[in-house]
């Protein structure tokens, strides 16, 4: 097979790049070992938070804002609703400075980004949070940052919509095919796959948790998969209205970096909310993830975070599933040419917060390959930045 551009991995990032390349008339082949959307990587579990004032760093704000515009275009293409602007709420002490991966000083940095970029928001005193959103029980001293344009996306539907729109624009898909190795040759890249060799002029590697070993140095020690768990807790009948009209929420609390959790409203007919904390311990090889979640883990989640903070939630989870973050040493993305294979563009945008940016990342990737550069500045995500020094090995 010969193709101008191969996109390897069709999750959040790859499916967005696939559509954006195809709609520009590029001869593009999308390759995946599974048939996305699927529950083996980082892009499943019904919902992902989105917001525009990005407390993880102001370099992300243009990506989030542009993504919101593109989701609306994709909704028109797909004829379905993907982005639900139900509002996003951060509850925290205003001066919270506990070190947390990517989110130290989260509420203050979110507020600063909102002010700098003119993003609609409100700062809520504790009593105002309780009056408007009685399902939350903040402590004295905690305040709220509320962004009415925040909300959630439906990740599986977004991936499916990207792939369908890309195919309508004549992009080709090769599913159930695993890349074994990449070899850059004189004027192309040879992709060695389980279905034979493919020759591509350029390759986008958006392989999520699998990317490190495929890309070799320096990525193999820089992109580390970490197992995460999402839990669904039942909503008590008298609290259904409050939880079904709830904003999404993020709640850093307590003195430890692990004292952070987030969650979603109860989706139509679910009678439950999804909530999760984050795990930044030892990495997990993505082909060897323990997908079982013992009931004790959900009980720990309830006791450590939900008890006393969320009202109207039962204490026994209805279900829990695993997912993977691909974490970099500084918790920021890597979007850059491979230092040893210049025809290969590496797109690793996870570290637990990539989905909301994926639509604009797909567009930026396509612009970079077609026009040579992207409208949005991606220099914060270069592979040679000093904060990416490797910290651990898988």
Ligand X SMILES: Cc1cc2nc3c(=O)[nH]c(=O)nc-3n(C[C@H](O)[C@H](O)[C@H](O)COP(=O)(O)OP(=O)(O)OC[C@H]3O[C@@H](n4cnc5c(N)ncnc54)[C@H](O)[C@@H]3O)c2cc1C
Q: Report the interface residues with ligand X, using CB under 6 A.
A: 8-14, 31-34, 36, 41-43, 45, 48-49, 178-179, 206-210, 214, 228, 230, 276, 323-325, 349-350, 352-356
Closest approach of Cβ 276 to ligand X, in Å?
A: 6
Distance in angstroms (rounded) separating the CA atoms of residues 321 and 299: 14
Nearest residue to the partner ligand X, using Cβ? 11
- In angstroms, what is the minimal distance from the CB of 206 to ligand X? 5
Residue 212 is classified by DSSP as: H
Whose Cβ is closer to ligand X: residue 46's or residue 122's? 46
Kindly report the backbone phi and psi dihedral angles of residue 230, in degrees, each rounded to the nearest multiple of 5, phi listed first.
-110, 135
Which of 23/353 has CB closer to ligand X? Answer: 353
Q: Which is closer to ligand X, CB of 19 or CB of 355?
A: 355
332 CB neighbour count, 10 Å cutoff: 20
- Which residues, in sequence order, are bridge partners of residue 232? 274, 319
CB within 8 Å of 196: residues ≥ 6 apart: 1
- Residue 36 or 312: the one with the smaller Cβ distance to ligand X is 36
Rg of the chain on CA atoms, in Å = 21
Is 75:19 a contact under the CB 8 Å cutoff? no
Euclidean distance between CA atoms 55 and 162, whole angstroms: 27
> Which lies closer to ligand X via its Cβ, residue 134 or residue 306?
306
In angstroms, give the least distance from the CB of 140 to ligand X.
28
Could you give the count of Cα atoms lying within 13 Å of 146 in the half-sphere of its Cβ?
A: 17
Which of 133/210 has CB closer to ligand X? Answer: 210
Separation between Cα atoms, residue 87 and residue 75, nearest integer Å: 19
Q: Smallest distance, Å, CB 130 to ligand X?
A: 24
- 213: number of Cβ within 10 Å: 13
Q: Which residue lies nearer to ligand X by CB, 58 or 128?
A: 58
DSSP state of 36: S
- Distances in whole angstroms, Cα of residue 96 to Cα of each of 107, 108, 118, 144: 8, 8, 23, 12
Minimum CB–partner distance for residue 9 and ligand X (Å): 3
**Residue 274 and residue 45 in contact, taking contact as beta carbons nearer than 8 Å:** yes
Shortest distance, position 280 Cβ to ligand X, whole Å: 12
314 forms beta bridges with none
User: What is the C-alpha separation between 111 and 113, in angstroms, rounded?
Assistant: 5
Residue 269's contacts (CB-CB under 8 Å, 6 or more residues apart) are none
Token match 């691909």: residue? 326
Query: 162 vs 374, which CB is nearer to ligand X?
Result: 162
In the complex, minimum distance from the CB of residue 30 to ligand X, in angstroms, rounded to a whole number: 10
Min separation Cβ 125 and ligand X, Å:
26
Shortest Å, Cβ 180 to ligand X: 7
Of 213 and 342, CB closest to ligand X: 213
């Amino acid at each position: 097979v010969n193709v101008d551009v191969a996109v390897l991995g069709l999750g959040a990032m790859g499916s967005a790049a696939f559509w954006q390349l195809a709609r520009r008339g590029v001869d593009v082949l999308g390759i995946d070992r599974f048939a996305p959307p699927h529950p083996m990587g980082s892009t499943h579990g019904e919902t992902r938070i989105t917001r525009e004032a990005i407390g993880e760093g102001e370099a992300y704000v243009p990506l989030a804002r542009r993504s919101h515009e593109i989701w609306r275009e994709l909704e028109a293409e797909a004829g379905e609703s993907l982005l639900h602007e139900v509002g996003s709420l951060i509850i925290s002490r205003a001066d919270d400075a506990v070190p947390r991966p990517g989110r130290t000083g989260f509420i203050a940095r979110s507020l600063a980004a909102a002010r700098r970029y003119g993003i609609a928001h409100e700062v809520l005193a504790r009593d105002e949070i309780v009056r408007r959103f009685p399902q939350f029980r903040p402590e004295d001293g905690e305040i709220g940052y509320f962004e009415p344009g925040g909300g959630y996306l439906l990740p599986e539907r977004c991936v499916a919509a990207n792939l369908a729109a890309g195919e309508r624009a004549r992009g080709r898909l090769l599913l159930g095919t695993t890349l074994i190795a990449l070899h850059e040759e004189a004027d192309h890249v040879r992709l060695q796959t389980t279905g034979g060799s493919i020759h591509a002029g350029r390759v986008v590697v958006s392989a999520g948790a699998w990317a490190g070993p495929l890309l070799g140095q320096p990525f193999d020690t820089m992109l580390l998969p970490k197992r995460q768990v999402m839990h669904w807790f039942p909503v008590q009948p008298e609290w259904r209205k409050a939880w079904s009209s709830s904003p999404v929420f993020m709640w850093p609390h307590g003195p430890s970096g692990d004292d952070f959790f987030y969650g979603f409203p109860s989706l139509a007919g679910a009678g439950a909310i999804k909530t999760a904390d984050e795990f930044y311990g030892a990495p997990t090889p993505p082909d060897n993830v323990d997908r079982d979640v013992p009931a004790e883990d959900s009980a720990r989640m309830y006791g450590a975070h939900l008890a006393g903070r969320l009202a109207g939630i039962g204490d026994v989870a209805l279900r829990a599933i695993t997912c993977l973050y691909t974490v970099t040493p500084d918790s920021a993305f890597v979007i850059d040419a491979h230092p040893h294979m210049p025809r290969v563009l590496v797109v690793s945008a996870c570290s637990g917060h990539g989905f909301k940016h994926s639509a604009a990342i797909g567009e930026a990737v396509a612009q970079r390959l077609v026009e040579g550069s992207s409208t949005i500045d991606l220099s914060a995500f270069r592979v040679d930045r000093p904060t990416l020094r490797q910290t651990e090995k898988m």
